[in-house]
Amino acid sequence: MHVPDGFIDAPVSVAAGVVAAGAVAVSLRGARRELDERTAPLAGLVAAFIFAVQMLNFPVAAGTSGHLLGGALAAILVGPYTGVLCMSVVLLMQGVLFADGGLTALGVNVSVMGVVTVLVAHLLFRGLLKVLPRNRGSVTIASFAAALVSVPAAAAAFTGIYAIGGTTDVAVGKVLTAMVGVHVLIGIGEALITAATVGAVIAVRPDLVFGARGLAAPLKLKVGGELVDAPAATPAAAPAGAGATGSTGSAGPSRKLWATGLVTALVLAGFVSFYASASPDGLEKVAADKGIDAKLKADEEKPEGERTYEHASADSPLADYGVKDVENARLSGGLAGVIGVGTTIALGSGVFWAVRSRRSSSPAGPAAEAARPAAG
């Protein structure tokens, strides 16, 4: 659903950019309460994983494909504020390095694919957990539903922006029906991927899943005929020379999980992406069928240098997810995917560690930050 340059006029694109910048600013502050020494590395991995899976377009209808948006996955794994930052990092990398999504439309893309998907998924997910039994299965079910709804919600949000600032004269009702209809189908794929990923992480490290925090009920002891909460266990001292976490502490499994996730992302982007569907995605298909892209098609017929909507990163050595001057398509796409995963995880991890460091170095200290109400 990456919106290219030229679909939305300049004033509305600027307004969307202001909204997106405000959302990122709020998220930078809110993420301080979500990130700690365990989840900061996971957040960078989540961004890289979303980048990789977005390369895997899957067929959803005749001549149409879809791909993961990732907002629901990010919100559930690392929290809504950090989720917005994850999506912003991914969209920035895609626009700047891969010419995927217009740079003038970056604010639109962050608002629609980042903010709307994360917010809708987070609210629905938290609401479902309040009525479902408190167990891991409920987290997976709520993840499926939240992801499913977040995709057509994003499609509806794009339609709303198009209604205000669209550059072509197409009936909004037709755009809404087509966009929501195809993105409900794409949402099913999103829901399956999200539920499977969340379920896999919960099975290994449920304590790392933001959406599953507080899921486990406290251990009860029978004292004097009454059940009381058992006292919290005191962590065992780390062996000498093992550092703060110890060789068998929580950092061990988290390092294993991080390495597994990174290898998975590299394989998906570097190898599996070659077999992705070549059909246009939901927005591209609707734009072509309804005439939303009429001005872009006319612009493409102009000589180079006279095109109004020429992507600013069209000459990037990684444009269109291929490495320039590498003739073999499989190798070119695979290298581009690997570079994208590596760059995204580097940038994302840097951002999240910086946010985490701001929390640790704040005058009030991490205790005061932790005392503030958590999102949701």
Nearest to 125 by CA among 81, 47, 73, 199: 73
Token pair 């099975």 is at which residue?
Answer: 203
Please name the residues in contact with 133: beta carbons below 8 A apart, sequence gap of 6 or more: none
Token pair 């990010």 is at which residue?
Answer: 74
Distance CA 259, CA 90 (A): 20
* pLDDT, averaged across the chain: 87
Q: 232 or 132, which is more confident?
A: 132
Q: How confident is the model at residue 62 (pLDDT cuts 50, 70, 90)?
A: confident
Distance CA 40, CA 116 (A): 23
**Domain ranges across the chain:** 10-214+256-303+320-371
Give tens-digit pLDDT for 148-168: 999 999 999 999 999 999 999
Q: Which two tokens stand for residue 106?
A: 């970056």
Distance CA 10, CA 347 (A): 28
Architecture of the domain whose range is 10-214+256-303+320-371: Orthogonal Bundle (1.10)
Q: Is the pLDDT of residue 253 over 80?
A: no
Average pLDDT over residues 177-185: 97
Q: Is the pLDDT of residue 14 over 70?
A: yes
Name the least confident of 7-11, 25-29, 240-244, 247-251.
240-244
Q: Hey, CA dihedral for 278, 284, 286, 292, is it positive or negative?
A: negative
Q: How far is CA 122 from the centre of its chain?
A: 12
Give tens-digit pLDDT for 81-129: 999 999 999 999 999 999 999 999 999 999 999 999 999 999 999 999 9
Question: 223 has which bridge partners?
Answer: 226
On the CB side of 272, CA atoms within 13 Å amount to 14
